[in-house]
């Protein structure tokens, strides 16, 4: 038993870091899911902190499970986003306590992980996208790259007329045979259009077709997967284990893509990876920005037996996402010969930038002084926390 005695958050609108401290003085850093992080921080303090303060820090999965049950009337994205902050901080703490990287705690080892260059842009012409992906592959040694087709939840209306038809052959030719090619439709197509586009992708040697149709329509996704030879992939939005069991049982996709932060942390993502492994399904997680989500995913990829061929690594820097600036000390996402490196330092192996923390909004909850909100007091029915 090593009780949690302090939970601190440092947030702005985009990022919320969590620091958890146990009664032996060991601490760990985690992060809630990015975007609307100010709202997530509020959910964290209202609905996660009352259950976590005073709880045993050493059985992470059990604590996450308990909080899900205690807050069962609030299933969904924000609960999972906030839980991710607690879970990832506790994993960092567990690693720091024994002097090992998280990858080693979950059966893997630190070292290089192959990455693919992942474009986040649709507002980019096919010519410009070809130019920058070819350049990045040459400069940083990427051997796989992903670009965007269709429009996000676009109902078959393209980003602009003809973009999908133009970018597929153009990028395929520009990247050539030595580079593995991936595309992401972000739920952009109907089933017939997705199957038609999928045949074009197959003709041009693309190997990964992500979120071809509305992701929430699992039957539609399965229809596309069944019709095509290309690997159909998805699951980045999903966090509910019942949904995950359905997706995997019915082979709705060829490759599952849980997001560590949308899932509610590493513990729940490991559950999905385990379900997939038992069914012989590959797991290539979603990690779409250069915050802690990609660090956590690097450790996960270095450990699970059914890890896909490559880590998703966003190529969009601080110019496109200014909120990513100055989050960490050092260069945790440095690419050498198309690989990033899982650090052998304890925990996640990264340090949050003190400058960033100084500029953030700080909230602290300590076991000895904590007072639940009116909601919390009512919900706990006067029970001493």
Cβ closest to Mg ion, residue 152 vs residue 318:
152
With CB under 5 A as the contact rule, which of the stretches 3-11, 89-97, 177-185, 189-197 interacts with Mg ion?
A: 177-185
Cβ closest to Mg ion, residue 110 vs residue 235:
235
For the CB of residue 111, give the shortest distance to Mg ion in the complex, in Å. 26
Helix pair angle (77-98, 60-70), 10° resolution: 160
Name every residue whose Cβ is closer than 8 Å to that of residue 47 and which is 6 or more positions away in sequence.
Answer: 67, 71, 74, 79, 82
For the CB of residue 272, give the shortest distance to Mg ion in the complex, in Å. 16
Cβ closest to Mg ion, residue 262 vs residue 370:
262
Residues in the chain: 385
Residue 68 in contact with Mg ion, rule: CB under 5 A: no
Cβ closest to Mg ion, residue 32 vs residue 314:
314
Residue 184 in contact with Mg ion, rule: CB under 5 A: yes
For the CB of residue 243, give the shortest distance to Mg ion in the complex, in Å. 17
Count the neighbouring beta carbons within 10 Å of the beta carbon of residue 73. 8
What distance in Å separates the CA atoms of residue 228 and residue 222, rounded to the nearest whole number? 10
Cβ closest to Mg ion, residue 158 vs residue 211:
211
What distance in Å separates the CA atoms of residue 232 and residue 71, rounded to the nearest whole number? 34
Helix pair angle (191-203, 163-175), 10° resolution: 20
**Cβ distance 121 to 320 under 8 Å?**
yes
Cβ closest to Mg ion, residue 57 vs residue 314:
314
Per-residue contact string for residues 189-228; x = within reach of Mg ion by CB under 5 A: ---------------------x------------------
Residue nearest to Mg ion (CB): 184
Residue 8 in contact with Mg ion, rule: CB under 5 A: no
For the CB of residue 124, give the shortest distance to Mg ion in the complex, in Å. 16
Cβ closest to Mg ion, residue 80 vs residue 288:
288
For the CB of residue 185, give the shortest distance to Mg ion in the complex, in Å. 9
For the CB of residue 284, give the shortest distance to Mg ion in the complex, in Å. 10
Total residues binding Mg ion (CB under 5 A) = 2
Which residues in this chain contact Mg ion in the complex, by CB under 5 A?
184, 210
């Amino acid at each position: 038993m090593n009780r949690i005695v302090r939970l601190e958050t440092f947030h702005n609108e985009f990022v919320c870091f969590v620091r958890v401290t146990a009664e032996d003085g060991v601490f760990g850093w985690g992060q809630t899911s990015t975007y609307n992080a100010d709202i997530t921080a509020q959910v964290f303090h209202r609905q996660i902190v009352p259950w976590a303060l005073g709880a045993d820090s050493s059985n992470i999965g059990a604590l996450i499970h308990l909080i899900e049950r205690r807050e069962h009337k609030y299933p969904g994205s924000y609960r999972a986003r906030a839980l991710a902050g607690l879970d990832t901080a506790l994993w960092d703490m567990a690693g720091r306590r024994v002097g090992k990287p998280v990858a080693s705690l979950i059966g893997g080892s630190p070292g290089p992980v192959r990455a693919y260059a992942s474009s986040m842009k649709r507002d980019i012409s096919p010519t410009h996208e070809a130019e920058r992906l070819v350049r990045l592959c040459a400069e940083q040694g990427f051997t796989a790259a992903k670009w965007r087709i269709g429009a996000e939840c676009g109902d078959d209306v393209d980003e602009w007329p003809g973009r999908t038809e133009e970018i597929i052959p153009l990028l395929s030719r520009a990247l050539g045979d030595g580079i593995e090619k991936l595309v992401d439709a972000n739920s952009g197509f109907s089933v017939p259009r997705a199957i038609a586009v999928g045949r074009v992708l197959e003709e041009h040697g693309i190997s990964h077709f992500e979120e071809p149709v509305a992701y929430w329509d699992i039957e539609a996704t399965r229809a596309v997967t069944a019709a095509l030879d290309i690997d159909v992939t998805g699951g980045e939005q999903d966090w509910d284990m019942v949904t995950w069991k359905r997706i995997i049982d019915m082979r709705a996709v060829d490759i599952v893509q849980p997001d560590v932060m949308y899932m509610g942390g590493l513990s729940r993502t490991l559950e999905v990876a385990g379900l997939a492994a038992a069914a012989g399904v590959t797991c290539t997680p979603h990690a779409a920005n250069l915050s802690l989500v990609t660090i956590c995913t690097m450790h996960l990829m270095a450990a699970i037996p059914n890890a896909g061929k490559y880590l998703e690594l966003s190529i969009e820097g601080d110019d496109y996402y200014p909120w990513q600036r100055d989050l960490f000390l050092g260069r945790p996402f440095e690419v050498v010969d198309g690989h990033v490196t899982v650090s052998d330092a304890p925990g996640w192996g990264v340090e949050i930038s003190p400058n960033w923390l100084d500029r953030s909004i700080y909230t602290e909850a300590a076991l000895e002084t904590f007072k639940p909100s009116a909601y919390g007091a009512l919900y706990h029915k006067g029970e001493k926390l």
